[in-house]
Amino acid sequence: MVFSVYDIALFEHAVLRTAILSLAGGLLGVAGGIALTAMRLSTVRWLPGLGLVGAAYVQIMRRIPFIVTLYGLFFLAGALGADIGAMGVAIGAIGLIASAYLSEIILGGIRTVGPEQFDSALALDLPVWARWRHVVLPQAMRAILPPAIGYLVLFIKDTALASQIGVVELSQAGVILSSRGLPATPVFIVVLSLYFALSYPLTRLSRALEKRLALS
């Protein structure tokens, strides 16, 4: 069977939506993950609950199905009158869940850096930003980067659920075309192949980085 120009235009639109959702959600997750990690590592004396709040957020977010977060946020935005659109809600929901997972990865990476590294940076009297920028982070990155990119693949897969709040992304395009009467099997082979084309390079990159940056 042959896809018409309109079907191909729909696929183009849908792939773009899926890519934007994954990228924007992933970036939001990186920002949120860094913020959460900072909270969990914070030693600010007058805010002792900060670390606990960060840890609780991570524990809780990872135990709620993504679709429940998505529905909750969608109707919450409606109830609050926040006009951010279905795309905005989906990106926000991916950001919420991605923050939790990425915070675990970032914190894990920082913990691979031995305490003697922190101590020697202190002994050299480096200022705070230099301790992080020149001592801790370059070493932690080796343990952070491969799994973080691997998790991006997970967020690409989560974007499929955005179809449920009305975003016409890749899996929704498949549903639309098969409901329009096109044979479902070839339609979904195209859908799955497009997802594969987005995810597989990242999977490979994550694996290659893991090998190259392996902690010896």
Partner 1 sequence: MSGLDFHPVMLKLPFLLGGVGTTMLLAGISFALGLLLAVVLVIMRVDGCGLVKRLSVIYGTALTNTPQLSQIFALFYSLPLFGMTVSPFISVLTGMALNAAAYLAEILATGLRTVPHAYHDAALTLGMNRFQIWTRVLLPHAGRAMYPALSNHFQIMILGSSMASIFGVEDLTGRAYDIGTSSFRIVEVMSVTAGLYIILSFVLGGLLALLHHLVERRV
Alpha-helical regions (H) of the chain:
5-41, 50-61, 66-80, 85-111, 115-123, 128-130, 137-158, 170-179, 184-212
Among 39-47, 110-118, 119-127, 153-161, the segment contacting partner 1 (CB under 8 A): 153-161
Q: What is the rounded distance in angstroms from the CA atom of residue 15 to the CA atom of residue 170?
A: 6
Q: Please tell me whether residue 59 adopts helix, strand or coil conformation.
A: helix
Binding mask 79-108 for partner 1 (x = CB under 8 A): xxx---------------------------
Of 15, 171, 206, 209, the one binding partner 1 by CB under 8 A? 171
Site for partner 1 contains 43 (CB under 8 A): no
Residue 116 CB, nearest approach to partner 1 (Å) = 29
Judged by CB under 8 A, the number of residues near partner 1 is 42
Residue 135 CB, nearest approach to partner 1 (Å) = 32
Residue 50: C-alpha distances to residues 39, 44, 114, 188 (Å): 6, 8, 24, 46
Residue 146: C-alpha distances to residues 63, 100, 105 (Å): 23, 17, 10
With respect to partner 1, which residue has the nearer C-beta, 123 or 215?
215
Site for partner 1 contains 139 (CB under 8 A): no
Rama region for 82: left / alpha / beta (φ>0; ψ in -120 to 50; rest): beta
Q: Give the residues lining the site for partner 1 (CB under 8 A).
A: 60, 63-69, 71-72, 75-76, 79-81, 153, 156-161, 163-164, 170-171, 174-175, 178, 183-185, 187-189, 191-192, 195-196, 199-200, 203
